[in-house]
Amino acid sequence: MYELTNLTKTYETKRGTVSALNNVSLSIPTGQMVAIQGPTGGGKSTLLQMLGALERPTSGTVALSENLLSGMPDARLADIRARTIGFVFQGFNLIPTLTAQENVETALAPLGLSRTERRRRATEALDTVGLSERLAHHPAELSGGQQQRVAIARALVKEPSVLLADEPTGNLDEQTRDEIMDLLEGLWRDQGLTLIIVTHDSAVAKRAERRLHLKHGAVSEKKEHGTARRNTAQR
């Protein structure tokens, strides 16, 4: 579970100090599906980076289970990201020179697995997202939806406990958006993940169990519940 306490993040710019997050305190239980909404510049991506151990707070703390992320050295944070946290980006962020299978394998490289094991697990992950026929394709040879599926396979291949998605459907049409969200929701439901999605899209946000709104660096809870439901037995 995530525990954020009095989290503040400020950036120094030429025009002065900008406050991206302002004294945010928040708990996200393990296995919850959370959507974070808000206007551009409201601090959504900064919050996601704090949750993903990519950024350090100016003040306050971020804890993931027993790990106090805000106080860890860079190498330990990299290890946490390698084993515990999966990322899905709006722009897919696949490496253009690698095939779909090799892109998925990059997430396993820090784990020190054998080449055979990496191959096996990458193939399995791509099969899970419905791309078993596209293993040797390069990103440029895939559609947007297929590229995002590869990115999801890359995020999940290491079997993380947390999946962070930053506008995962922002570059996709409605039909593909729904397919990707069905996939993410299905994986969340089946694998017991904590899924946190930053989105502008209300249709995406409505699927989440819990919806947070972030504006001017301050977080507020939306009361209505999303459509996503996990089998109680699995939780």
Partner 1 sequence: MFGTYLYRELSNRRKQTTIIAAGMALAIALVMIVSGVAAGVRDAQASVLASIYGVGTDITVTQEPVQPAEGEQGQQQPRFQFGANDGATADGTTELSQSRLTSGAGSTTFDADALTTAVGLDNVAAATATLTLNNVSFTGEIPTRDAASAQGTEAGVEPGSGQAAPGGPDGAGGSSFSVETFTVTGIDVVGESIGPLTSVELVDGRAFETSDADSTVVILDAGYAATSSLSVGDTLEVGGEEFEIIGTVTSTSSEATTASNTYIPLNTAQRVSGLDGQISTVYVQAGSSTEIASVQASLQNALPDASVKTQEDLASSVSGSLSTASDLVGKLGTWLSVVVLAAAFLISVLLTTSGVARRTREFGTLKAIGWSNGAVVRQVAGESLVQGAIGGVGGVVVGLLGTLAINLAAPVLSASATATAVSGPGAGGGPGGGRFGDATTAVAATTDIALQIPVTLGIIGIAVALAVLGGLIAGAFGGWRAAKLRPAEALRSVN
Per-residue buried b or exposed e for 99-108, using 16+ beta carbons within 10 Å of the residue's own CB: bbbbbbbebb
By the rule CB under 8 A, 95 interacts with partner 1: yes
Q: Closest distance between partner 1 and the C-beta of residue 109, in Å?
A: 4
Choose which of 28, 32, 105, 194 interacts with partner 1 (CB under 8 A): 105
**x-marked contacts with partner 1 along 165-204 as a string, rule CB under 8 A:** -xx-------------------------------------
Closest CA to 185 of 206, 212, 215: 206
Choose which of 55, 185, 201, 209 interacts with partner 1 (CB under 8 A): 55
**CA-CA distance, 67 to 6, in Å (whole number)?**
17
Chain centre distance of CA 173: 20
By the rule CB under 8 A, 207 interacts with partner 1: no
Contact 204, 192 (CB under 8 A): no
Choose which of 79, 144, 213, 215 interacts with partner 1 (CB under 8 A): 79
By the rule CB under 8 A, 72 interacts with partner 1: no
Q: Closest distance between partner 1 and the C-beta of residue 103, in Å?
A: 10
Name 88's bridge partners: 165
